């Protein structure tokens, strides 16, 4: 299957799961899972910067359209994509992030993937939740939401890795 088709299918499936199931999951206002970030996390290492930003914007904007969130997901997704190359350089040796290797548990290992995912999801959720609150009056309440949702989303990302991406080549 073509790489472009695989990423297109992943985009559609993650968008549908997010807007039909996960957008209605909200535990006391503190846990909000945003599995759609997996699309950005799984894009190839060698993707061009402009394309990474454009695809991330499209994913975030698509979630915004269905969630009526006025661009907050688009902004957080583009921010996450913008930070992604630096985070990859931070957590990976140059040898690890070669072309043809996917940023997934199967190719990079659990320790690398959990570091990569936690940092990027934390950045995404921090911007998203503080944009949503648009005030620092409840700074610590928003911080708790960021941290709990980051852990929950990261858990879903790890679970999806084991369920759908662990097949051998």
Per-residue pLDDT tens digits for 4-57: 899 999 999 999 999 999 888 877 777 889 999 999 999 999 999 999 999 999
Per-residue pLDDT tens digits for 112-168: 999 999 999 999 999 999 999 988 888 999 999 999 999 999 999 999 999 987 665
pTM of the model: 0.92
Lookup: tokens for 153: 């989303």
Residues 6+ positions from 137 with CB-CB distance below 8 Å: none
């Amino acid at each position: 299957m073509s790489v472009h088709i695989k990423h297109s299918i992943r985009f559609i499936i993650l968008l549908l799961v997010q807007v039909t199931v996960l957008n209605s999951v909200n535990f006391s206002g503190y846990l909000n899972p945003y599995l759609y970030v997996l699309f950005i996390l799984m894009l190839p290492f060698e993707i061009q910067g402009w394309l990474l930003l454009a695809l991330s914007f499209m994913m975030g904007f698509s979630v915004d359209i269905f969630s009526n969130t006025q661009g907050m997901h688009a902004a957080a997704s583009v921010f996450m994509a913008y930070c992604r190359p630096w985070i990859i350089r931070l957590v990976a040796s140059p040898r690890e992030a070669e072309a043809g290797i996917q940023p997934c548990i199967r190719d990079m290992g659990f320790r690398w993937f959990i570091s990569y995912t936690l940092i990027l999801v934390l950045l995404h959720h921090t911007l998203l939740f503080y944009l949503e609150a648009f005030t620092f009056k409840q700074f610590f309440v928003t911080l708790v939401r960021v941290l709990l949702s980051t852990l929950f989303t990261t858990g879903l990302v790890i679970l999806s890795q084991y369920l759908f991406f662990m097949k051998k080549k």
